[in-house]
Amino acid sequence: MTSTSTLEKFYAILRRDLLTAIRHRSGFIVTMVGLLTELAAFYFLSRAIGPGFRPGGVEFFPFILVGTGLYTFFVMSAQAFLNSMQEAQQTGTLEVLMTTSTAPAELVVLSAISAFAGNMLNLVVYLFAGVALFRAAIHANFLSVIAVLIFSLAIALAVGITAAALQVAFQKGSAVLWLFGSGLWFLSGMMFPIQSLPWPLQLISRALPLTYAIDGMRKALLDGQSMITMAPTLAVLAGFSVTLLPLALAALGLSLRRARQDGTLSFY
Closest contact distance (angstroms) between CB of 10 and other proteins is 10
User: 220: how many CB neighbours lie within 10 A of its CB?
Assistant: 29
Q: Are 166 and 248 in contact (CB under 8 A)?
A: no
Q: Which is nearer to other proteins, 198 or 261 (CB)?
A: 261
Please name which of 185, 48, 26, 214 lies closest in space to residue 127, comparing C-alpha atoms.
214
Q: Which is nearer to other proteins, 229 or 266 (CB)?
A: 266
Q: Which is nearer to other proteins, 165 or 230 (CB)?
A: 165
Q: Which is nearer to other proteins, 97 or 131 (CB)?
A: 97
Give the angle subtended at the CA of 138 by the CAs of 136 and 143, to the nearest 5°. 140
Closest contact distance (angstroms) between CB of 112 and other proteins is 15
DSSP calls for 127-194: HHHHHHTT-------HHHHHHHHHHHHHHHHHHHHHHHHHHHHHS-HHHHHHHHHHHHHHHSSSSS-G
Question: What is the distance, to the nearest Å, from the Cα of residue 219 to the centroid of all Cα atoms in its chain?
Answer: 19
Closest contact distance (angstroms) between CB of 13 and other proteins is 8
Q: Which is nearer to other proteins, 204 or 250 (CB)?
A: 250
User: 52: how many CB neighbours lie within 10 A of its CB?
Assistant: 6
Closest contact distance (angstroms) between CB of 7 and other proteins is 11
Phi, psi of 163 (to 5 degrees): -60, -40
The contact set with other proteins (CB under 8 A) reads: 1-4, 8-9, 12-13, 15-16, 19-20, 23-24, 91-93, 95-103, 107, 257, 260-261, 263, 265
Closest contact distance (angstroms) between CB of 51 and other proteins is 47
Closest contact distance (angstroms) between CB of 27 and other proteins is 10
Q: Which is nearer to other proteins, 100 or 243 (CB)?
A: 100
Q: Which is nearer to other proteins, 158 or 165 (CB)?
A: 165
Which residues are CB-contacts of 116 (< 8 A; sequence separation ≥ 6)?
77, 81, 153, 156, 157, 160
Closest contact distance (angstroms) between CB of 208 and other proteins is 35
Give the angle subtended at the CA of 71 by the CAs of 134 and 81, to the nearest 5°. 120
User: 58: how many CB neighbours lie within 10 A of its CB?
Assistant: 19
Q: Which is nearer to other proteins, 4 or 243 (CB)?
A: 4
Closest contact distance (angstroms) between CB of 18 and other proteins is 11
Q: Are 37 and 86 in contact (CB under 8 A)?
A: no
